[in-house]
Chain A
Amino acid sequence: MTIPTLQVEDLETHFPTRDGIVRAVDGVSFDVAEGEILGLVGESGSGKSITGFSILGLIDPPGRIAGGRVLFKGEDITSASPERMRSLRGSRIAMIFQDPMMTLNPVLRVDTQMIETVQAHEKVSEAAARARAVETLKAVGIAAPEERLLAYPHQLSGGMRQRIAIATALLHSPDLIIADEPTTALDVTIQGQILYEMRKLCRDTGTALIWITHDLSVVAGLADRIMVMYAGKIVETGPVATVIERPQHPYTRGLIGSVPGVLPRGKRLFQIPGMTPAPLNLPPGCRFKTRCSRADTLCDTLPELVELHPNHSVRCHHPHDARPLTPTESAA
């Protein structure tokens, strides 16, 4: 059996604050196989981005990984030396951020930055590095890549910058890409182009992809598997069709019911009452119980993530039946 590209085991990331420890990621475990696209979905404060940063070892002190392991192709990288991490980051594992200006240096031309990235991990001539930059820019759908290489980031549109950030991530054909809301700031037609190209790249190269987003509808057409996080914990995970069509956790069902377009026009949207609990003030037991219509005394103890069907796990004492979400039901 082949080893998954990424194995995350019981990951815990903590941020000490004056008022106590914020458990931003609290016991998260999952695998990503070669060529698989995992959609990591959650609202603000769910810990989805911190999970991504933790895998890459990008947590700023005083925040720290307090427990668990991250295995990249079987190698434990939570305990890896800084040198080892540096050689992995940008070559074997790449990250794409929401704001491409987090990746791009505003005072350097695109070619300087891309060639530097190539030469940081491989001994190749500048001409060869430039040729590779042109190749990858073409692969992400940039017309006239030679000209774009001579531009400064501010001369390019937002969509173009994000493509360059993606191309930079692809320079070393990484085994794993972590993409943190890379299309959220982009227009619909540009987002469509980027989703299309990312999907094609993963299919062609066998790169594993973790796509972090708050928007279920973006990953619905992209991911193979979806993982929903709430307040630092995974609440539901399964194949994309199962989670979207037959969600069993009340939070996932609520989230899907809240998306306009599922219900007939003009009907009141399903609303999850209240808001995400403050990370320092989580309710004991199930973290969703204060907003859940099914909660009872059983929910004062934290439910385990249970595999209810093959590959479909839910963290709930009172999961819904595995039947499709109907418009009338979600409106109730």
Chain B
Amino acid sequence: MTAPMIELRQISKRFVWRLDLASRLANLLGAGIRERAVHAVNHVDLGIAEGEVVGLVGESGCGKSTLGRIVAGIMDASEGEIRFRGKALSAMTEEERRDYKLAVQMIFQDPYASLNPRMRVEDIIGEAPVAHGLIRRSEMGEYVEKLMQQVGLDPRYRRRYPHQFSGGQRQRIGVARALAVQPRFIVCDEAVAALDVSIQAQVLNLFMDLREQLGLTYLFISHNLAVVEHISDRVVIMYLGRVVESAPTEELFAAPNHPYTKALLAEAPKLVAERRDYTPIKGEIPSPLDPPTGCHFHPRCPFAMARCKTEAPPLREIAPGRMSACHLNEMATV
């Protein structure tokens, strides 16, 4: 097997709420206020091969967007190592690091907030490649037109501003901007979540076409299982900062292993006209400020045992290419 294009090793991200002056003064008087930390991403290992589409699924607060931002180089990890084409980021020279950041681009959820409203479309798309010396300024117009055509926008509109476009068109502008620096890897963070169903289909088709034409690799972050099932080769499920399951798409949807994955699949609305009379899983997603001990899912898990409360299950291989973090798997093999 070839080495993965991007490899995350034991990546963690903590957001710490630092004590301000007033709290520190209060502490001098014995108030005992402590720093609070959110462990948004907790020792995640993830390898993505060249040309692969990995779907990253989880509910709000599970750390999927934070992980996406770390991969895209927008945010630094608190711990752990990222390797790009076999080389650790920390060992890279300034120039190699710049190449990495250009090779990895991101497409955001909100096509309204992610485009500068005061810039014309041609500047939004053309600015970065000119700044990075990929093209000369004199070539910008032609370059932008080519990109707009590629993502299905009418090049005649290149002098317009973002507010003159619909949501679906704006998302295409975001795609063109990401493609402008000739990336190899694209992180899509809920890139179709804000779009109407018929427009969502158009943008998903665009992603699949681009993958074919340019051989792109994607990390596709979404809470929508149907979208992820459709587009991904492999699916990774996260819950409260940890990866709980990772498997090839067909296998995951045919036979989910982790109880959380099973619950997610059972509850995702499907386009089937039949009454579903299951009992939904209980409870809410716990606060990441104060996650449960042991396995994070144990308070909601129908199969929780005493051990789950104290010991976090490690992510282990349960079949070739399939990983799951659940104590039940060990019971089965013993």
Q: What is the distance, in angstroms, from B276's C-beta to the closest C-beta of chain A?
A: 5
The proximity string for B residues 235-264 relative to A, scoring 1 for CB distances below 8 Å and 0 otherwise, is 000000000000001100000000000011
**Contacting residues, chain A, for B225 (C-beta < 8 A):** 188
Within A175-211, which residues are at the interface with B (CB < 8 Å)?
Answer: 187-193, 195-196, 199
Q: Is B226 touching A261 in the complex (CB atoms < 8 A)?
A: yes
- Kindly state whether residue A212 has any CB partner on chain B within 8 Å: no
Mark the stretch among A66-74, A84-92, A217-225, A303-311 that contacts chain B. Answer: A217-225
Q: Is B205 touching A271 in the complex (CB atoms < 8 A)?
A: yes
**A209 CA / B266 CA spacing, docked (Å):** 24
Given contacts A217-B270, A259-B226, contact A190 B284 (CB under 8 A): yes
**A255 CA / B198 CA spacing, docked (Å):** 6
Of B197, B229, B275, which is in contact with the most chain A CB atoms at under 10 Å from its CB?
A: B197
Q: What is the distance, in angstroms, from B44's C-beta to the closest C-beta of chain A?
A: 20
Q: Is B273 touching A245 in the complex (CB atoms < 8 A)?
A: yes
Q: What is the distance, in angstroms, from A208's C-beta to the closest C-beta of chain B?
A: 18
- Kindly state whether residue B227 has any CB partner on chain A within 8 Å: yes
- Kindly state whether residue B60 has any CB partner on chain A within 8 Å: yes
Of A189, A255, A257, A262, which is in contact with the most chain B CB atoms at under 10 Å from its CB?
A: A189
Q: Is B197 touching A255 in the complex (CB atoms < 8 A)?
A: yes
**A255 CA / B278 CA spacing, docked (Å):** 27
Q: Is B196 touching A189 in the complex (CB atoms < 8 A)?
A: no
- From B199, B231, B271, A216 is in contact (CB under 8 Å) with B271
The proximity string for A residues 2-44 relative to B, scoring 1 for CB distances below 8 Å and 0 otherwise, is 0000000000000000000000000000000000000000011
**Contacting residues, chain B, for A302 (C-beta < 8 A):** none
**A192 CA / B59 CA spacing, docked (Å):** 13
**Contacting residues, chain B, for A261 (C-beta < 8 A):** 226, 229-230, 270-271
- Kindly state whether residue B166 has any CB partner on chain A within 8 Å: yes
The proximity string for B residues 211-228 relative to A, scoring 1 for CB distances below 8 Å and 0 otherwise, is 000000000000101110
Given contacts A190-B284, A241-B273, contact A272 B230 (CB under 8 A): no
Q: Is B205 touching A189 in the complex (CB atoms < 8 A)?
A: no
**A275 CA / B264 CA spacing, docked (Å):** 32
- Kindly state whether residue B268 has any CB partner on chain A within 8 Å: yes
Interface size on A, residues (CB 8 A): 48
Within B148-193, which residues are at the interface with A (CB < 8 Å)?
Answer: 166-168
**Contacting residues, chain B, for A135 (C-beta < 8 A):** none
Considering the complex, give the chain A residue whose CB is closest to the CB of B208. Answer: A268
Within A242-258, which residues are at the interface with B (CB < 8 Å)?
Answer: 243-245, 254-258
- Kindly state whether residue B280 has any CB partner on chain A within 8 Å: yes
- Kindly state whether residue A260 has any CB partner on chain B within 8 Å: yes
- Kindly state whether residue B35 has any CB partner on chain A within 8 Å: no
- Kindly state whether residue B274 has any CB partner on chain A within 8 Å: yes
Q: Is A159 touching B284 in the complex (CB atoms < 8 A)?
A: yes
Given contacts A262-B271, A263-B230, contact A271 B198 (CB under 8 A): yes
Given contacts A191-B267, A271-B198, A275-B166, contact A265 B272 (CB under 8 A): no
- Kindly state whether residue A157 has any CB partner on chain B within 8 Å: yes
Considering the complex, give the chain A residue whose CB is closest to the CB of B211. Answer: A266
Q: What is the distance, in angstroms, from A143's C-beta to the closest C-beta of chain B?
A: 8
**Contacting residues, chain B, for A262 (C-beta < 8 A):** 271
Q: What is the distance, in angstroms, from A120's C-beta to the closest C-beta of chain B?
A: 30
Q: What is the distance, in angstroms, from B219's C-beta to the closest C-beta of chain A?
A: 17
Q: What is the distance, in angstroms, from A202's C-beta to the closest C-beta of chain B?
A: 12
- Kindly state whether residue A140 has any CB partner on chain B within 8 Å: no
Q: What is the distance, in angstroms, from B75's C-beta to the closest C-beta of chain A?
A: 23
Q: Can you list 26 A-B pairs, Cβ within 8 angstroms, ordered by A?
A: A160-B284, A188-B223, A188-B264, A188-B267, A188-B268, A191-B267, A217-B270, A220-B271, A220-B272, A220-B273, A221-B270, A221-B272, A221-B273, A221-B276, A244-B271, A255-B197, A255-B198, A258-B198, A259-B197, A259-B271, A260-B201, A260-B230, A265-B250, A275-B168, A275-B199, A276-B196
Report A's interface with B, CB cutoff 8 A.
Answer: 43-44, 143, 157-160, 187-193, 195-196, 199, 214-218, 220-221, 240-241, 243-245, 254-263, 265-266, 268-272, 275-276
Report B's interface with A, CB cutoff 8 A.
Answer: 59-60, 166-168, 196-202, 204-205, 208, 223, 225-227, 229-231, 249-250, 263-264, 266-276, 278-285
Across the A-B interface, the 4 shortest Cβ-Cβ residue pairs: A192-B267, A258-B201, A260-B230, A261-B226
Given contacts A192-B267, A216-B271, A217-B269, 9 further A-B contacts (CB under 8 A): A159-B284, A187-B60, A188-B268, A189-B263, A216-B197, A221-B274, A259-B271, A260-B231, A268-B205
